[in-house]
């Protein structure tokens, strides 16, 4: 209601509209400020050819070199991938895959031979990859207890309800609880270089420095109170599908044992998509000009502990070098080149349209 | 008036509404071969509003440029408005200043009351009120038009941002085993509509003007899109949904392809669920903010503050939630610790965000530019003119001071209609003949004289049968 109340006798004064209060008791007239009268100073942009066309051309001209740079960088990354699930009967791990049971005490070992055609320079990263493994399933993702993993003592013996059904084993709490921890990847991969004399040289694999710094030092902490982890975890049970309890993940190194074991941390960082890779080991670069992994024959020794065939999953080992844009992924390069070219082409099309139709626009009269 | 017209007025039955649920009867407009006007007084209207004649009255009235009903009772005013409302499917506006206009004001879709000589009854029952009749022009052409545009922009944008937000989750369902895992972080979902996108939309809806008020008054044709409901109808809604589908496809599949089997520049993980969620939500917010920037035509300081402030708020809130402090305090509630630090310092994350943003925005810009070039609307032309030309100075208005101002222009009364009311004609009962209290020289019903209508070209011999 924009009413302005006034006495009938005073109406003349208000008919002029601009007068201020003429000594009335209540003047409901809104203030004549820029804010209330909607006259605030403002920037009013419109889409003109002078702004749109240069923008399209500039974007096209920027994107194409970026795309080429990304594509070339991605092509220069060397990557080698080998699937060792053992699906077909002529693959080396077929027997291990077929004969898998949960009760085996004898680990099944299989060996895969492969050849690297090109030498790998600088740091080489060894990954294990899984396919058709839904680490992003909702029930799976919430099946963990972050307080327990942070070393909270009360959560150690009384884990969160989200971990069900992997919360207690009998009457004893499971540490670490939950489905994510329970399905920890436990294949062991060892890499050997086969030189010209057919002698196997083990490639040194570094197992630390594979998890995020914030995960290793902030999010995951061992329960305090004892430097002896066996004592710290004495009132807990190991997860159902683990062969060893959590304090025996790496007894040789107390900085990599218990909850802060880096393989465990890497696994607990759940992947977003059903096909993923996780960092397993790092092969440090050698000093001088020696390539880290010279080309030639290699042997991969696999202790096959992890069953994936029941849900039609696949396991693979990946060796990859790294660049400033990460691993080998040509998508961004191709996408930038495509978008840049389309942009440039669209700019040309819009320029033609603008030339043909702009005269019509500027001289067009507004019909009354 | 209309040589080819049918003899009898006809109504056209149809169903309207969102799901075609509402049944309506509409009288079609007919072509007329000239400009006509209709003047009818209360006594005649009493007959004309009877059931068998009212459609004919409406039909004739709609063929005229102007209809003047004089000396009508309040109920008849309401009945005329109701007649138009029912059979024409049009939006009606009634303006009046006295207590006798109250029923008409209440019946119409938009009731406007003038506060003044006649008191405050019309004001109290109206939707809008002001002090002078001439403000009606501003109410319609400036404020009504702005209100319509702001409402339509708000609706279009609101549906767009929420459909995009939800459809990205839908595409993710195909990749998470249909387990209803959200692709965004829980806190982001909570804050999205409440904090991150609340204030910018509010700023657009409060302050947006496509042309300023002086130009709106100078070009009344700008009002036509509102009358034709052009800015938000079923077609506009479908456009909005399709735009959301396209945006959501880009917003999910570009990060998906870019993060597929990828790692950080030091070899560590970047394709984990938390980093992917952060990437998806950052892309979404940047695209949604830019769409708002494209929709806002009038950037005041408040708009700038709301938009850039919301963006800063998003980054600061996200950084806070991924910080060590919040994790130590509320461990289970903030599991995203470290995610911003580890993923937002990667060049390929920012390259993905930039690519997504451009792929979503450039088609919109291109489409709008093409439409401005090929099919400029009145709005586009006026906005272009506003930028290049100066508005002609308005002619100085003479201030007229009138001591006895009549403020009701469409409806006037001089001698009162007591007879008509007491005759109960409009109640459709036969009345008894009564001696008139005042001599009435303009009503042929009592005097059995035919009405003599003159055209404007003829000289009026004596004032008879006209409204004063």
- The whole-angstrom distance between B327's CA and the closest CA on chain A is 8
How many Å apart are CA B157 and CA B159, to the nearest integer? 5
Which of B242, B235, B353 lies closest to B290 in space, CA to CA?
B353
Residue-wise pLDDT for A312-356, tens only, equals 999 999 999 999 988 899 999 999 999 999 999 999 999 999 998
How many Å apart are CA A319 and CA A121, to the nearest integer? 12
Q: Which residues of B touch A327 (CB under 8 A)?
A: 261-263, 267
B107, B90 contact by CB (below 8 A):
no
How many Å apart are CA B328 and CA B334, to the nearest integer? 9
Q: Pick from A212, A224, A318, A335 the residue to mutate for testing the B interface (most B CBs within 10 Å).
A: A212
Cβ distance A362 to B384 less than 8 Å, yes or no, reads yes
pLDDT at B401: 58
In which band, very low, low, confident or very high, does the pLDDT at A263 lie, cut at 50, 70 and 90?
A: very high
pLDDT at B396: 61
A5 pLDDT exceeds 80? Answer: no
Neighbouring residues of A130: CB distance < 8 A, sequence distance ≥ 6: A185, A275, A276, A277, A278, A308, A313, A314, A315, A316
Neighbouring residues of A44: CB distance < 8 A, sequence distance ≥ 6: B297, B298, B299, B383, B386, B387
Q: Pick A332's closest partner by Cβ from B181, B256, B352.
A: B352
Using DSSP, state whether A218 is helix, strand or coil.
helix
What's the Rg (C-alpha) of chain B? 31
Structure tokens, B48? 């004309």
A126 to chain B: closest CA residue = B267
In chain B, which residues have pLDDT < 70?
1-5, 392-418, 424-468
Neighbouring residues of B283: CB distance < 8 A, sequence distance ≥ 6: B251, B254, B255, B352, B353, B356, B357
Residue-wise pLDDT for B62-110, tens only, equals 889 999 999 899 999 999 999 999 888 888 999 998 888 999 999 999 9
Q: Pick from B115, B260, B267, B341 the residue to mutate for testing the A interface (most A CBs within 10 Å).
A: B267
Query: How many other C-beta atoms are found inside a 10 Å radius of the C-beta of residue B420?
Result: 23
Residue-wise pLDDT for B303-343, tens only, equals 999 999 999 999 999 999 999 999 999 988 899 999 999 99
Q: Which residues of B touch A276 (CB under 8 A)?
A: 261, 271
Structure tokens, A118? 């090109």
pLDDT at B3: 66
Query: How many other C-beta atoms are found inside a 10 Å radius of the C-beta of residue B375?
Result: 9
Percent of chain A whose pLDDT exceeds 90: 61
Using DSSP, state whether A193 is helix, strand or coil.
strand
Query: CB of A136 within 8 Å of any CB in chain B?
Result: yes
Which of B204, B461, B251 lies closest to B356 in space, CA to CA?
B251
Beta bridge partners of A297: A115, A194
In which band, very low, low, confident or very high, does the pLDDT at A127 lie, cut at 50, 70 and 90?
A: very high
Q: Pick B129's closest partner by Cβ from A3, A134, A269.
A: A3
- The whole-angstrom distance between B391's CA and the closest CA on chain A is 14
Query: CB of A211 within 8 Å of any CB in chain B?
Result: yes
- The whole-angstrom distance between A151's CA and the closest CA on chain B is 11
Neighbouring residues of B468: CB distance < 8 A, sequence distance ≥ 6: B412, B414
- The whole-angstrom distance between B67's CA and the closest CA on chain A is 23
Q: Count residue pairs from A and B with Cβ separation < 8 A.
A: 255
Cβ distance B179 to A139 less than 8 Å, yes or no, reads yes
Cβ distance B207 to A38 less than 8 Å, yes or no, reads yes
* Integer CA distances (angstroms), B31 to A135, B28, B64, B278, in order: 70, 10, 10, 62
In which band, very low, low, confident or very high, does the pLDDT at A362 lie, cut at 50, 70 and 90?
A: low
φ/ψ (deg, to 5) at A323: -130, -170
**Eight-class DSSP state of B462:** S
A80, A319 contact by CB (below 8 A):
yes
Cβ distance B271 to A322 less than 8 Å, yes or no, reads no
B56, B30 contact by CB (below 8 A):
no
How many Å apart are CA A138 and CA B183, to the nearest integer? 10
In which band, very low, low, confident or very high, does the pLDDT at A289 lie, cut at 50, 70 and 90?
A: confident
Using DSSP, state whether A255 is helix, strand or coil.
helix
* Integer CA distances (angstroms), B405 to B102, B116, B468, in order: 20, 9, 14
Structure tokens, B265? 């520049």
SS3 breakdown of chain A: % helix, strand, coil, rounded to 5? 35, 20, 50
Query: How many other C-beta atoms are found inside a 10 Å radius of the C-beta of residue B142?
Result: 22
- The whole-angstrom distance between A210's CA and the closest CA on chain B is 6
How many Å apart are CA B1 and CA A181, to the nearest integer? 87
Token pair 């610790």 is at which residue? B337
Structure tokens, B373? 């070039």
Cβ distance A2 to B385 less than 8 Å, yes or no, reads no
Q: Which residues of B touch A282 (CB under 8 A)?
A: 267
Q: Pick A141's closest partner by Cβ from B181, B213, B268.
A: B181
Number of H helices, E strands in chain B: 20, 7
Q: Pick from A34, A272, A344 the residue to mutate for testing the B interface (most B CBs within 10 Å).
A: A272
A119, A296 contact by CB (below 8 A):
no
B244, B417 contact by CB (below 8 A):
no
* Integer CA distances (angstroms), A10 to A1, A5, A13, A259, A331, in order: 20, 10, 6, 84, 76
Q: Pick B258's closest partner by Cβ from A46, A137, A331.
A: A331
A31 pLDDT exceeds 90? Answer: no
Computed over every residue of chain A, the mean pLDDT equals 87
Cβ distance A325 to B129 less than 8 Å, yes or no, reads no
A274, A131 contact by CB (below 8 A):
yes
Largest Cα–Cα separation, chain B: 106
How many Å apart are CA B38 and CA B69, to the nearest integer? 8
The CA angle A165-A171-A176, to the nearest 5 degrees, is: 55
Q: Pick B117's closest partner by Cβ from A8, A147, A219.
A: A8
B80, B62 contact by CB (below 8 A):
no
Neighbouring residues of A318: CB distance < 8 A, sequence distance ≥ 6: A79, A80, A81, A82, A126, A127, A128, A129, A277
How many Å apart are CA A252 and CA A243, to the nearest integer? 17
Q: Which residues of A touch B303 (CB under 8 A)?
A: 42
Q: Which residues of A touch B264 (CB under 8 A)?
A: 326
Query: CB of A185 within 8 Å of any CB in chain B?
Result: no
Cβ distance A125 to B267 less than 8 Å, yes or no, reads yes
Neighbouring residues of A268: CB distance < 8 A, sequence distance ≥ 6: A144, A149, A176, A180, A181, A215, A220
Q: Which residues of A touch B396 (CB under 8 A)?
A: none
Q: Pick A47's closest partner by Cβ from B262, B269, B365.
A: B365
B10, B29 contact by CB (below 8 A):
no
Q: Which residues of A touch B385 (CB under 8 A)?
A: 366
Cβ distance A331 to B383 less than 8 Å, yes or no, reads no
A 15-54 → B contacts, CB under 8 A: 15-17, 38, 40-49, 52
In which band, very low, low, confident or very high, does the pLDDT at A180 lie, cut at 50, 70 and 90?
A: very high
pTM score: 0.85
In which band, very low, low, confident or very high, does the pLDDT at A34 lie, cut at 50, 70 and 90?
A: confident
Cβ distance A40 to B301 less than 8 Å, yes or no, reads yes
Which of B84, B110, B107, B112 lies closest to B97 in space, CA to CA?
B112
A 71-110 → B contacts, CB under 8 A: none
B259, B265 contact by CB (below 8 A):
no
Token pair 């002086």 is at which residue? B214
Q: Pick from B261, B265, B296, B399 the residue to mutate for testing the A interface (most A CBs within 10 Å).
A: B261
Cβ distance A46 to B368 less than 8 Å, yes or no, reads no
Q: Which residues of A touch B300 (CB under 8 A)?
A: 40-42
Helix B347-374 and helix B234-259, axial crossing angle in degrees, nearest 10: 150
- The whole-angstrom distance between A193's CA and the closest CA on chain B is 22
């Amino acid at each position: 209601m924009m009413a302005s109340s006034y006495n009938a006798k005073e109406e003349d004064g208000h008919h002029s509209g601009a007068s201020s209060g003429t000594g009335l008791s209540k003047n409901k007239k809104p203030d004549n400020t820029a804010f209330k009268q909607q006259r605030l100073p403002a920037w009013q942009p419109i889409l003109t050819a002078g702004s749109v066309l240069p923008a399209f051309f500039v974007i096209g001209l920027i994107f194409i070199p970026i795309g080429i740079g990304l594509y070339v960088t991605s092509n220069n990354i060397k990557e080698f991938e080998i699937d060792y699930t053992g699906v077909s009967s002529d693959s080396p791990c077929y027997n291990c895959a077929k004969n898998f049971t949960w009760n085996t005490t004898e680990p099944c070992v299989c060996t895969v031979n492969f050849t690297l055609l090109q030498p790998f320079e600088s740091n080489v990263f060894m990954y294990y990859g899984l396919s058709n493994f839904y680490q992003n399933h909702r029930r799976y993702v919430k099946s963990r207890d972050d307080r327990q993993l942070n070393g909270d003592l009360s959560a150690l013996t009384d884990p969160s309800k989200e971990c069900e059904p992997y919360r207690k084993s009998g009457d004893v709490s499971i540490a670490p609880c939950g489905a994510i921890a329970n399905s920890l990847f436990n294949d062991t991969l060892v890499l050997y270089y086969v030189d010209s004399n057919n002698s196997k040289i083990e490639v040194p694999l570094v197992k630390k420095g594979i998890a995020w710094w914030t995960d290793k030092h902030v999010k995951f902490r061992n329960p305090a109170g004892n430097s002896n982890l066996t004592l710290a975890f004495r009132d807990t049970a190991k997860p159902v599908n683990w062969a060893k309890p959590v304090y025996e993940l790496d007894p040789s190194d107390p900085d990599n044992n218990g909850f802060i074991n880096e393989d465990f941390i890497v696994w607990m960082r759940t992947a977003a998509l059903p096909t993923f890779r996780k960092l397993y080991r790092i092969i440090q670069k050698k000093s001088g000009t020696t390539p880290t992994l010279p080309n030639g024959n290699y042997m991969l020794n696999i202790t096959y502990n992890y069953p994936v065939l029941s849900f039609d999953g696949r396991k693979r080992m990946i060796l990859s070098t790294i660049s400033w844009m990460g691993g080998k992924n040509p998508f961004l390069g191709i996408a930038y080149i495509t978008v840049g070219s389309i942009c440039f082409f669209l700019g040309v099309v819009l320029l033609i349209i603008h030339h043909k139709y702009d005269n019509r626009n500027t001289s067009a009269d507004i019909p009354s | 008036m209309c040589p080819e017209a049918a003899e009898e007025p006809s109504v056209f039955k149809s169903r309207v509404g969102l799901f075609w649920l509402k049944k309506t009867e509409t009288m079609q407009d007919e072509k007329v071969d000239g400009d006509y006007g209709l003047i009818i007084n209360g006594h005649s209207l009493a007959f004309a509003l009877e059931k068998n004649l009212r459609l004919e009255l409406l039909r004739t009235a709609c063929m005229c440029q102007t209809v003047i009903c004089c000396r009508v009772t309040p109920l008849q005013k309401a009945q005329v408005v109701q007649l138009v409302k029912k059979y024409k499917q049009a939006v009606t506006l009634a303006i009046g200043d006295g207590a006798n206009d109250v029923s008409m004001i209440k019946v119409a879709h938009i009731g406007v009351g003038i506060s003044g000589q006649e008191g405050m009854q019309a004001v109290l029952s109206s939707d809008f009120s002001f002090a002078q009749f001439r403000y009606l022009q501003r109410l319609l052409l400036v404020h009504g038009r702005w209100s319509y545009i702001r409402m339509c922009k708000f609706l279009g944008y609101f549906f767009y941002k929420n459909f995009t937000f939800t459809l990205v989750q839908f595409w993710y369902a195909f990749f998470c085993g249909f387990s209803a895992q959200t692709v965004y972080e829980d806190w982001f979902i909570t804050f999205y509509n409440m904090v991150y996108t609340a204030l910018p939309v509010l700023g657009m809806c409060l302050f947006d003007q496509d042309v300023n008020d002086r130009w709106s008054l100078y070009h009344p044709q700008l009002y036509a899109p509102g009358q034709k409901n052009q800015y938000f109808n079923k077609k506009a809604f479908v456009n909005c949904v399709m735009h959301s589908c396209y945006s959501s496809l880009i917003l999910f599949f570009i990060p998906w392809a870019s993060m597929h089997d990828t790692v950080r520049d030091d070899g560590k993980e970047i394709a984990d669920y938390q980093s992917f969620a952060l990437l998806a939500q950052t892309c979404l917010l940047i695209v949604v903010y830019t769409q708002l920037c494209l929709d806002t035509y009038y950037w005041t300081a408040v708009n700038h503050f709301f938009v850039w402030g919301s963006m800063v708020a998003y980054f600061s809130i996200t950084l806070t939630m991924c910080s060590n402090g919040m994790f130590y305090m509320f461990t289970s509630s903030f599991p995203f610790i470290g995610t911003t630090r580890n993923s937002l310092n990667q060049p390929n994350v920012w390259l993905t965000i930039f690519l997504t943003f451009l792929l979503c925005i450039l088609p919109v810009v291109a489409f709008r530019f093409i439409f401005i070039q090929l099919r400029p609307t009145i709005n586009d032309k006026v906005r272009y003119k506003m930028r290049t030309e100066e508005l002609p100075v308005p002619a100085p208005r003479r201030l007229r001071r009138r001591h006895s101002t009549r403020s009701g222009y469409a409806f006037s009364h001089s001698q009162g209609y007591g007879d008509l009311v007491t005759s109960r004609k409009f109640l459709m009962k036969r009345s008894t003949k009564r001696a008139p209290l005042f001599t009435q020289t303009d009503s042929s019903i009592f005097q059995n004289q035919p009405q003599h209508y003159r055209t404007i070209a003829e000289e009026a011999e004596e004032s008879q049968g006209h409204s004063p």
